Structure 1
Amino acid sequence: MQISNVKLSQPYSSLDIYYSASDEALPAVVIIPGGSYNQIKERDSERVALTFATHAFQAFVVRYPVLVHKSYPAAKVAISQAFDYIVAHTTELQVNPSQLGVIGFSAGGQLAAAYANQVGTKAKFVALGYPVIKPTIDDKMGVTTEDVSRLVTSQTPATFIWGSINDGLTPFVDHINAYAVALAKHKVPFELHEFGTGNHGIALANKYTGIVNRDRVDDHMAKWFPLFLDWLSRLF
């Protein structure tokens, strides 16, 4: 595997590339980590990318502006630029553009949903892990966002969502449920898993992410990943 980083035009933004040499173009996933705009969480970035690579994906991580440079609009621009770069280099990156999607965690889930609903989006599928959907924690994060459930249309890509009913930061009723209702209203194919165990910010929920996440492991919630792979195999 070759791991590299390219700068994006958006200041304080870049794209990590986890390139796997292949005999054929592979499906690809652009990962948008969480971290409340204060950091890019390893649990949601490098470890997720490497896990996808073991399942024959080309994987990418968007590093958007955080800390003193944090900005929701700037982060959205960075994600658009990342997709533009990947699509412009599909041959050398061995990416199948018809199987290119986005996955976002927490605040990154809100950004992933915003990009997926953008006119001209290049995402063919979407996965949202315990996503922020409404601007209910803007004060906590120190940014001004939007209610991305209002962006959903009949053109929104097929979407996979998971979370925990124990999530007190982005409660089901205010966030995941609002987005799922919007998807259903517009007849967008989607699958939702709201686990009875686990919590917010648990990433893959296994030991691999647990060792950089205060040992937060939940074997039941960890099933989201194989469930997602099965869902995606039926989508394509």
Structure 2
Amino acid sequence: MKIKVLKNGGILMDIQNVSLFQSFSSLDVYHSNSDKPLPGIVIIPGGSYNRIMERDSERVAITFASHAFQAFVVRYPVVEHKDYQAAKSAVAQAFDHIVAHADELNVDPNMLGIIGFSAGGQLAAAYSNIAHTKAKFVGLGYPVIKPTIDDRMGVSTEDVTQLVNDNTPATFIWGSFNDQVTPFNDHILPYVQALRSHDVPVELHEFSTGNHGLALANKYTGIVNNDRTDEHMSEWFKLFLNWLKTLD
């Protein structure tokens, strides 16, 4: 069902919400009118499986759309319906839907990637490592990697470093050394080491400023993040776009 139309940077976007087979899950589609297929980005917001962080959602999608991406946001089960396996199923179903409707969505399935924030980063990493993943590239922002904070989140997850394999897509990771929620040595570093052990192309940016949960870290997402911004950490988005240009 179409819910609204936005005019953003000269791009007309149809925004729709599509129900997924997984209960209490849906896919927000930010479809930009285009005369040719565009790269696609599937956004997995954070929220500790207790909520969908809005700062990781629509404003991130609109920002990607303004850079010529078809953008999608997965709304997986949270709060009383939270379940790690169900959330993983929702992500997989979102990709299946996008690829099955690639022509009408004007998205190039060979340029379809995934990006996740915090707990959403854990889901993005997990999906990127499954057999026959449809993700061609991966972005992980201050991701949960190991189940060290399961008690805090109230859900049983897994150590996604154990899922990395020779077919894991090229991965871009960023975070902050100030992050005490997913500390670098406990989460990002082990995942980077796992990627390197399988010769997976990886780019890492660990910022000296910023913190956990800043989304784009600029004023656009800061307005829904208690004005929490960090100019230096906000460079991750430009770095990510430049990194994509280096991929085959």
TM-score band w.r.t. shorter chain? over 0.9
2:60 matches 1:48: yes
Q: Distance in 2 between matches of 1:234 and 1:26?
A: 17
2:114 matches 1:114: no
Shift of 1:200: 0.2
Unaligned runs of 5+ in 2: 1-12
Shift of 1:108: 0.2
Q: Distance in 2 between matches of 1:29 and 1:127?
A: 10
SS at match of 2:235: helix
Unaligned runs of 5+ in 1: none
1:17 maps to 29
Which residue identity is paired with 2:45? P
2:77 maps to 65
2:161 matches 1:149: yes
2:41 matches 1:33: no
SS at match of 2:28: strand
2:145 maps to 133
2:10 maps to none
2:101 matches 1:89: yes
Which residue identity is paired with 1:219? E
2:224 maps to 212
**4+ aligned runs moved over 6 Å, structure 1:** none
Shift of 1:120: 1.3
> Where do residues 224-235 of structure 1 align in structure 2 (5 Å cutoff)?
224-235=236-247
Shift of 1:82: 0.3
SS at match of 2:120: helix
Which residue identity is paired with 2:17? N
Q: Note the alpha carbon deviations across 1:135-154, whole angstroms, 9 max, x for none.
A: 01101111000000110011
Shift of 1:205: 0.3
Q: Distance in 2 between matches of 1:91 and 1:187?
A: 33
2:244 matches 1:198: no
Q: Note the alpha carbon deviations across 1:162-191, whole angstroms, 9 max, x for none.
A: 000000000000100010000111000010
2:176 maps to 164
Shift of 1:98: 0.6
- Report the aligned-residue RMSD: 0.5
Q: 1:183 aligns with which of 183, 195, 204?
A: 195
Q: Distance in 2 between matches of 1:211 and 1:164?
A: 20
Shift of 1:42: 1.0
Which residue identity is paired with 1:88? A
Shift of 1:23: 1.4
Q: 1:6 aligns with which of 9, 18, 32?
A: 18
Q: Distance in 1 between matches of 2:102 and 2:232?
A: 36
SS at match of 1:16: strand
2:92 maps to 80
SS at match of 2:18: strand
Aligned residue pairs total: 236
Q: Distance in 2 between matches of 1:79 and 1:42?
A: 17
